Amino acid sequence: MADVCKAYYFHIRALRHVRQSLPDHVARIITCSIVGSRLDYCNSLFVGMTDCNFKKLQRVQNTLARLVLRPGKFEHSTHALIKLHWLPVKQRVLYKQALITFNVLHHNTRTYLCDLLTIHNL
């Protein structure tokens, strides 16, 4: 997890250097692409991860949100996540996993994935 966070912070530092010269909408697009490509990459590996590792990834996401919106010094990062319409990392991982499962069950797109699922009736 340390290497993953290290890679995130590398991109954050690079963005921080040019942030002053970027308009707000461009900064949002860039950070959404970082979040979209990096945090969503291999989401299925994050399912069942420890809370300690989720906190590390959440700090990365909070740092990105604060970099984009430039809130006040004492403003909580939750408000920045809400303004950007981003789910917290743990909920994001669960949402993406549920979405993939739903699509496999209802759209029969990938047969190899459908074979891996077992349906439990309550």
The answer to whether the CB of 16 falls within 8 A of the CB of 31 is no
Among 90, 96, 11, smallest CA distance to 53 is for 90
- pLDDT value for 56: 92
* pLDDT tens for each residue of 7-38: 888 988 988 899 889 898 898 888 888 766 77
Instruction: Report the predicted TM-score, pTM, of the whole model to 2 decimal places.
Output: 0.81
**pLDDT tens digits, residue range 56-88?**
999 999 998 888 888 888 888 888 889 888 899
In the chain, where the domains are located: 2-116
- How does DSSP classify residue 41? T
